[in-house]
């Protein structure tokens, strides 16, 4: 292939439709805009969702829900996840290295889901009441 032999793909190039260029073109006079009305005029378009003055759909419907911006900084870890980790002392850095929480996580909480049979030491990590009881029952500690 050489630069002087490159051609566009078949069908990629076609002449643009030139409107308002006389009666013989088939798109003269009103140029495909019909007669009168807002859409026939220059600059005659309205914003997205406009319904001619009627209250638009997105304003008729009630607002619902809320998503906290802090959610991306919070994470949960189960007892089953802790059982699989090799370390005995567990903190945020260990959980991030193991891929159990995201890189953005700042607050981590252990929830009671699964079984724990190893002795663990949690540092700087929260735990639900049930999870804390399970960790302490296995001989561990929540600091």
- Residue 92 confidence (pLDDT): 94
Q: Which residues pair with 75 in a beta bridge?
A: 108
- Report yes or no on 50 lying in a domain: no
- Residue 86 confidence (pLDDT): 83
Q: Are 79 and 134 in contact (CB under 8 A)?
A: yes
The CATH code of the domain that includes 117 is 3.100.10.10
Q: Which are the contacts of 70, defined by CB distance < 8 A and separation ≥ 6?
A: none
Residue 136, pLDDT > 90, answer: yes
- Residue 87 confidence (pLDDT): 86
Q: Report the residue count for the chain.
A: 143
Domain count, the chain: 1
Q: Are 75 and 101 in contact (CB under 8 A)?
A: yes
At 96-126, the pLDDT tens digits run: 999 999 999 999 999 999 999 989 999 999 9
What residue numbers bound the domain in which 112 lies? 69-142
Query: CA 50 from chain center: how many Å?
Result: 27
- Report yes or no on 78 lying in a domain: yes
Instruction: Give the CB-side neighbour count of residue 43, counting CA atoms within 13 A.
Output: 0
- Report yes or no on 104 lying in a domain: yes
At 47-101, the pLDDT tens digits run: 999 998 999 999 999 999 999 999 999 999 999 999 998 888 999 999 999 999 9
**Average of pLDDT values for 119-136?**
94
pTM of the model: 0.55
- Report yes or no on 24 lying in a domain: no
Six-digit token string for 23: 């009666």
- Residue 44 confidence (pLDDT): 86
- Residue 9 confidence (pLDDT): 96
**Which stretches within the chain are classed as H helix?**
57-60, 79-84, 92-98, 129-137
- Report yes or no on 137 lying in a domain: yes
């Amino acid at each position: 292939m050489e630069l002087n032999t490159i051609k566009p793909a078949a069908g990629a190039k076609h002449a643009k439709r030139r409107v308002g260029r006389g009666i013989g073109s088939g798109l003269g006079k009103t140029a495909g805009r019909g007669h009168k009305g807002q859409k026939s005029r220059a600059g005659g378009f309205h914003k997205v969702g406009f319904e001619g003055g009627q209250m638009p759909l997105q304003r008729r419907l009630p607002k619902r829900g809320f998503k906290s911006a802090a959610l991306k900084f919070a994470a949960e870890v189960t007892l089953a996840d802790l059982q699989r980790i090799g370390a005995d002392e567990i903190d945020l850095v260990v959980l991030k290295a193991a891929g159990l929480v995201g890189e953005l996580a700042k607050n981590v909480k252990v929830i009671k889901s699964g079984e724990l049979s190893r002795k663990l030491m949690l540092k700087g990590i929260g735990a639900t009441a049930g999870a804390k009881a399970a960790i302490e029952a296995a001989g561990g500690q929540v600091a």
